[in-house]
Amino acid sequence: MSDFSSLSSSPRRVRQANVAAALQAIFAGRQLSRADLARQLGLNRSSSGNIISELIGNGLVREVAEDAPKPTRAGRPGILLELVPEGACFIGVEIGVEHITALRIGLTAEVSDVRVVPFDGRHAPVAEAVDRAVAIALEGAASGEIERCEGFGLATPAQMDRRGRVRIAPLLGWRDVDLAAITREALPAGIPSLVENDANAFAIGEAYASRGRQRGVTLVLVIESGVGGGIVIDGQLFRGGNGLAGEIGHIHVPDADCAELEEAIGLELLLNRYRGVATAGDATLAGLLADVRDRAPAAVAIAEDWARHLAFALVQACRLVDPDRIVLGGSVAGLYPMVSARVAFHMETLQADSFPLPEIVLHEAAEMGAAYGAACMLHQRFLSLENDLLAGDAMGKDWGSL
């Protein structure tokens, strides 16, 4: 979100800042009374009322009756303010190695229309992958939704700079491509776009879902064909000096068949090992998870090695980052609940007594976390001064009084 303290003090800019702050406050609180909003903005009721009227007139905020009045207050239920879910639409897409995930969120950041489509990312040129992702994302969207679309976010497992240029995406075979420009060209005119590393996007979504209430340090891992990481500090993504903070997938694992963590616990090695012991049909992740649940000895041995390598990497990360909480996402993270006790055992064995062990949780929507975070990036921008609407130059709406 924008730092409003750094803005010019001109009346126009101050008013823009107040409008953005009002949107953020209502989003964070879900529902607020007019009086509570005025207090949070530090404005008198008249000034706050003008802002509310403009937001209501532009279809972004609505008034609703309070479900149940406070016990200390007599009389009829009060009137509360909330965001209009249909007031704007944001699209999030993840281009993975084996699938494309696309979803939409509204102004309240609730998810709708999730689509997961198999996709051979290793053999698709970048422009073809982006075109396919855009097509999947727009399939089934009503014309009104596209008209209200205020952003398209794309996440993918790649190292990229802040302008969206991919340095390298080894799992996809991309190198030195302007992903931001390719994405803009693939979209219908007028839809803003942002691109981001999948783990960073996942971390943004994790922080966003808590609406700023998650304090401390959270390490987010996305475990798919590779392993990506992101760090969230007090609800804000920490990128590091070159945007590579949290990339623990490149930790060297000394006691493994391969050199790096993303190979040791990623999908490819798991399935390669499982193919040698699977008793029926194709060796799939679902089959491996089922065999681990059924305590098939060979599958359990694979899971034990996975737990040991994951524990080793988490301990190394804890010594550097000292997270309060670790959130696991991605399809392979579905293995964690079945081996969580083994991960804890190995971490306790490896970790020095002076380093506390963090809470480890599985993301509630592990397979769509990166796509959700990609959509949240645009939602976040919409609720800030980066939104052209607040600059009085968007969607044909009358914001000339700002």
Domain count for the chain: 3
* Enclosing domain of residue 104: 87-203+369-391
pTM of the prediction? Answer: 0.82
My answer on whether 258 and 163 are in the same domain is no
The backbone torsions φ and ψ at residue 116, rounded to the nearest 5 degrees and listed phi first, read -120, 115
My answer on whether 262 and 349 are in the same domain is yes
Structure tokens belonging to residue 93? 């897409």
pLDDT recorded at residue 136? 95
Gap between the Cα atoms of 50 and 96, Å rounded: 45
My answer on whether 348 and 243 are in the same domain is yes
CA 323 → CA 203, 350, 359, 369, distances in Å? Answer: 13, 16, 9, 19
My answer on whether 304 and 169 are in the same domain is no
The runs of H, that is alpha helices, within 91-197 are 126-138, 143-147, 179-186
My answer on whether 75 and 197 are in the same domain is no
Task: Tell me if 376 is assigned to some domain.
Answer: yes
pLDDT digits (tens, 9 = 90+) for 281-336: 678 999 999 999 999 999 999 999 999 999 999 999 888 899 999 999 888 999 99
My answer on whether 384 and 315 are in the same domain is no
pLDDT recorded at residue 70? 55
pLDDT in tens, the chain (402 residues): 444 444 445 666 777 888 999 999 999 888 999 999 999 999 988 889 999 998 999 899 999 988 755 555 554 557 899 999 999 999 999 999 989 999 999 999 999 889 999 999 999 999 999 999 999 999 878 777 888 899 999 999 999 988 899 999 988 999 999 999 999 999 998 899 999 999 999 988 888 876 655 678 999 998 988 888 889 898 888 888 877 888 888 888 877 666 788 888 988 889 988 988 887 667 899 999 999 999 999 999 999 999 999 999 999 988 889 999 999 988 899 999 999 999 999 999 998 888 888 999 998 776 788 999 999 999 999 998 777 666 544 333 333 222
pLDDT recorded at residue 69? 56
Task: Tell me if 119 is assigned to some domain.
Answer: yes
Gap between the Cα atoms of 104 and 91, Å rounded: 5
Q: Among the three residues 62, 83, 104, which one is the final residue of a domain in this structure?
A: 83
Task: Tell me if 27 is assigned to some domain.
Answer: yes
Task: Tell me if 1 is assigned to some domain.
Answer: no
Q: Nearest to residue 214, comparing CAs of 199, 231, 226?
A: 231
Assign residue 188 the CATH number of its domain: 3.30.420.40
Structure tokens belonging to residue 287? 């089959």
Please, what sign has the CA dihedral across residues 156, 157, 158, 159? positive
pLDDT recorded at residue 1? 47
